[in-house]
Amino acid sequence: MNQLTIKKSFRVSGHGLHTGRMVTVNIQPAPSDSGILFRRTDKLSIITQPATADRVGDTSRGTSLKTGRQVIATIEHLMSALHSMQIDNVLIELDGGEVPILDGSARPWLQHLQRVGVIQQDLPKRVMTFDEPLHFEFPETGSVYDMEPSDHFSVDCVIDFAGTVIGRQEAEMHDFTSYASEIAPCRTFVFLHEIEPLLHLNLIKGGSLDNALVFVNQEPSPRLLRRLGRKLHKDPSTFRVHDGMINTTDRYFDNEPARHKLLDFVGDIRLVGLPPVAHFSIYKPGHKANTAFARFLMDYYNNKH
Domain boundaries along the sequence of the chain: 2-125, 189-247
Point out the least confidently predicted range of 19-28, 46-55, 131-140. 19-28
- Closest C-alpha to 84, from 278, 252, 261, 275: 275
pLDDT digits (tens, 9 = 90+) for 97-136: 999 999 999 999 999 999 999 999 999 999 999 999 999 9
Q: Which of 18, 77, 287, 305 is catalytic?
A: 287
Point out the least confidently predicted range of 9-13, 43-47, 90-94, 233-237. 233-237
CB-based burial of residue 101 (10 Å sphere; 0-12 exposed, 13-18 middle, 19+ buried)?
buried
What pLDDT is recorded for position 194? 78
What pLDDT is recorded for position 195? 75
| d(C-alpha 94, C-alpha 84), whole Å | 22
pLDDT band at 155 (very low <50, low <70, confident <90, very high): very high
> DSSP character for 294?
H
Buried b (16+ CB within 10 A) or exposed e, 159-173: bebeeeebeebebbb
| d(C-alpha 159, C-alpha 282), whole Å | 9
- Could you name the CATH architecture of 2-125? 2-Layer Sandwich (3.30)
Task: Return the amino acid letter for 245.
Answer: M
pLDDT band at 200 (very low <50, low <70, confident <90, very high): low
pTM of the shown model: 0.94
How far is the CA of 81 from the CAs of 22, 112, 281, in angstroms?
A: 21, 10, 20
Residue 18: is its pLDDT beyond 80?
no
Is 287 considered catalytic here? yes
